[in-house]
Chains A and B, each alone.
Chain A
Amino acid sequence: KQEVTQIPAALSVPEGENLVLNCSFTDSAIYNLQWFRQDPGKGLTSLLLIQSSQREQTSGRLNASLDKSSGRSTLYIAASQPGDSATYLCAVPNRDDKIIFGKGTRLHILP
């Protein structure tokens, strides 16, 4: 049974700092991994999708890496801004095609 864990559960950092969010999964037989952002009371916005054959994906100040063998992914945010404050969710499809989500990391960027 696939389980997804995100650490830390919450993080507060001053504006301008670089930061790393962690995601681990128990079943390494994944086809892809997706990072989402969720603002309070809003839906999910897809940030990055990494295929199992890829090691990383980049979009602007965001970089996501994937190490299937160790069951880990990281989301790196460079030069953080107050607008980056949100909950970040990691998700993987399991063998039954269900998307399994972590509980998320609540990020607060201090102006």
Chain B
Amino acid sequence: GENVEQHPSTLSVQEGDSAVIKCTYSDSASNYFPWYKQELGKRPQLIIDIRSNVGEKKDQRIAVTLNKTAKHFSLHITETQPEDSAVYFCAARIFGNEKLTFGTGTRLTIIP
């Protein structure tokens, strides 16, 4: 089955700087890659997603890039703010399958 690896597990960034989280997946049949943000004590919430027919997607300060050949995708957060502090999960899903395989999460801390 699909396996998703996520790095780093923890990341501390000075406020205003950029943060990058990387994930790799194993199954070339995966075609949907969402990123979820989970604040302490709250539910995971989708922040951005990308499909395999697109190489990059941006939404304000957040962007995701996908390299299908290398089977990896990354989350980029620019101009980080204190409210960006949370655990971020990447995930992958195979076409036609509702199951998401999650990475192990990255705890992002923004240092004021």
Task: Determine if chain A interacts with chain B.
Answer: no
